[in-house]
Structure 1
Amino acid sequence: MKKNKKVIFNGVFLVVVFALTIYGVFHGEDLESMMDAIRSADKRWLAPGLALVAFFIWGESIIIWYMMRSYGIKLKKRTCFLFSSVGFFFSCITPSASGGQPMQAYYMKKKNISIPVSAVILMIITITYKLVLVVIGIGVAVFGRGFLHQYLEGILPVFYLGLALNIFCVTFMTILVFHPLLARTFMVRGLKILEKLHILRRKDGRLKKLEDSMDTYRDTAAYLKTHSKVIANVIGITFVQRMAMFAVTWFVYRSFSLSGTGFWTVLFLQAVISVSVDMLPLPGGMGISETLFLTIFAPVFGTLLLPGMVLCRGLGYYGELLISALFTIVAQLTIGQEHDSKERESYE
């Protein structure tokens, strides 16, 4: 019952945010002219952009496959692609991308991968995923002062907030991993304070669950200390994966036969949006991503700003959502059914 309520809440929240985004972006705009501009875009440039979205999803599947092998677990790459698709689909439709990894762990369990192993792998993917954003964000903030003031003057507070939140998240997760006893002390004290303030109701099993979760961090620390080469390779793959997604915007830019702004400028402007919205509690950064795009890309796309935003978000978010949704269905029809069939055979 509680699970059903959560699903309903997430569904309603997604629809409301989507409706508000559509209204905020398109209200008062000339939609006919926008559609004419979109239809005129060169599809030969859009096709590679869509391919990069698929590559982005595939990149995580290679990380999962690679790390599973380091555990001695041999999986087919297509199975890992299904795990990756499930993660991206549920991340796209839940606030703060909170639903992706629990669903990945659920499907991994169906392939007889233990929760401790999947938890460590998904934890490392999360840390490296955000670490790449932090490195890019700090790089832009430190070395791109002219870039910041030329393109980001109007959204600097949002950018610095997003960067600070990502730094905090990576730092906090690193402390959890490498200093589990210190982390446990803070979390237990925090839990008691929340219960004392009646923000959380006192539950006997909550502390036990907290202690069990700390085992994941200890296992992650042990993995990181003994697989440094694997982690370095994962960071490299993640960097390429994220850059590929940022580059989608440049292909949209070129599809309108626009020129004058370099590839790396377009790429890092898109990266700035990701840094800014990644930690915000909105499905896929919906609403704020569109607003930031319309602000910082105005001098780049000019009169084609709105159709440019529609195509960039159409490929980068809705394209990702569609591709991952299709393969999530495949995952349910294969991994899910295969597991259910084995359970029935075992019962009989």
Structure 2
Amino acid sequence: MSRKNQLSALIMLIIGLGVFAFEMHNTNLQALWHQALHMNLFWLVIAFLAMFISYFFEALVLKVLLKNREDSLHNWWNILRIPWIQALFNAITPFSSGGQPAQLIALLQSGVEGGRASSVLLMKFIIYQTIVLVNFIFAMIFKFQSIAQHYSALAYLIAGGFIIHVFTIGLLLMIMFYYRLTRKLVMGIMKIISLFVSHQRVQVWTNKVLDKIDTFYHESLVLKKEGRKVLLATLLTFIQLLFYYLVVYFTLLALHVDQANLIDVLIMQIMIVMITSIFPVPGGTGGAEYSFKTLFARFVSVPSQLYLGMFIWRFITYYLGMFLGIIAVAFKPINERKNTQVRGGKTFDEEPRKSNN
């Protein structure tokens, strides 16, 4: 990792500790320590295991999408390290913008051809966003009215997250199925922008946007031809997210919160994912903790127990990925093909390019 990335990781750790310190400034530390000593260690281990299983299924998605290609990955270390690297760079960049280019570099280092790596990551991103959106729609159908009634402030944040996800998926689908129309719309928008910004700068922006649209469209043609892979990857992504959502339920069980309803907890976690997506701060820091405290206070009435649960859940779902990502970056992939070079010589010592993904 470059010094800039190391500094970003350190800053996020400090900010995270600051958020917890602020949230717990009125909490009885003795009661908090008592809650920690009397946790159910079995369910705590299961919570950690659920997160590792989630990473494993995310790796399986990549393995499936790369299957039957000349540069498929066969070494499990090369596959497993990629979700961890994504977790790290998602955690230290605003709107998780660094995860996508970091995964690309990881695949290139493992010997996957650049164009194919981009195509596979594109498929993975579309599938993931679609499943998140579908899960959220089901959650809204069952619980949004209740949340809007009891948590009016969160209802606006949830709606904002939903709009962002719909816009993202809609834009990608427009490029896939209405390629020419999308290009014309972009050109029209850029002409309007040129009224307020210099023509030279607008031309640079236009070329970059059109280049991304062209790349996405051509790679989406591959996506349409591989229906079976996409279907299997979709199922695996659903399982990946299910285990991720279950972490909070197992955390509550570890704290002896046995009255928590599994379905309610899963829906609450889906809502939190939507809320954190609209916060520009890396990892949704602040928004994630606020959402957890607000939504799960109905299940956990003891403040020390609630804040301990928030810390454990946040550590497993956020900080654990950062630490695993640091390990994945430190230990290089096992090259499965000789004479393979990383395109452009890029490594994780360079700042990942920001991506709309």
Q: Which residue of 1 aligns with 2:42?
A: 44
Q: Which residue of 1 aligns with 2:22?
A: 24
**Larger fraction in helix:** 1
Q: Which residue of 1 aligns with 2:60?
A: 62
Q: Which residue of 2 aligns with 1:314?
A: 315
**What code does the residue aligned with 1:313 have?**
R
- Deviation string, structure 1 residues 107-135 (Cα, Å, up to 9, x no partner): 22223323221112111211111111211
Structure 2 matches for 1:62-81, cutoff 5 A?
A: 62-76=60-74, 77-81=76-80
Is the 1:194–1:200 Cα contact (8 Å) retained in structure 2?
Answer: no
Q: CA deviation at 1:137?
A: 1.4
**What code does the residue aligned with 1:270 have?**
Q
Q: Which residue of 1 aligns with 2:223?
A: 224
Is the 1:89–1:100 Cα contact (8 Å) retained in structure 2?
Answer: yes
Count of residue pairs the alignment pairs up: 339
Gaps of 5+ in 2: 344-357
Is the 1:61–1:83 Cα contact (8 Å) retained in structure 2?
Answer: yes
Q: Which residue of 2 aligns with 1:286?
A: 285
Q: Which residue of 2 aligns with 1:143?
A: 142
Write the distance in 2 (CA, Å) between the matches of 1:154 and 1:342.
47
Q: CA deviation at 1:216?
A: 2.2
Is the 1:269–1:296 Cα contact (8 Å) retained in structure 2?
Answer: yes
Q: Which residue of 2 aligns with 1:346?
A: none
- Deviation string, structure 1 residues 43-80 (Cα, Å, up to 9, x no partner): 11111111111112222211111111154432123311
Is the 1:151–1:296 Cα contact (8 Å) retained in structure 2?
Answer: no
Identity of aligned residues (%): 19
1:235 is aligned to 2:234: yes
> TM (normalized to structure 2)?
0.84
Alignment CA distance shift 1:248-1:155 (3 Å): same
Q: Which residue of 1 aligns with 2:346?
A: none
Is the 2:88–2:99 Cα contact (8 Å) retained in structure 1?
Answer: yes
Structure 2 matches for 1:301-340, cutoff 5 A?
A: 301-303=300-302, 304-331=305-332, 334=334
RMSD after superposition: 3.1
Q: CA deviation at 1:179?
A: 2.2
Write the distance in 1 (CA, Å) between the matches of 2:339 and 2:199.
37
> TM (normalized to structure 1)?
0.86
Q: CA deviation at 1:91?
A: 0.8
Gaps of 5+ in 1: 344-348
**What code does the residue aligned with 2:100 have?**
Q
- Deviation string, structure 1 residues 268-319 (Cα, Å, up to 9, x no partner): 2111101221243121111100001110100112202111111111212112
SS at match of 1:104: helix
Q: CA deviation at 1:204?
A: 6.1
Q: CA deviation at 1:250?
A: 1.0
Write the distance in 2 (CA, Å) between the matches of 1:112 and 1:308.
41
**What code does the residue aligned with 1:267 have?**
L
- Deviation string, structure 1 residues 173-224 (Cα, Å, up to 9, x no partner): 2212322222222333334444442389627655444343233212232122
Q: CA deviation at 1:12?
A: 8.0
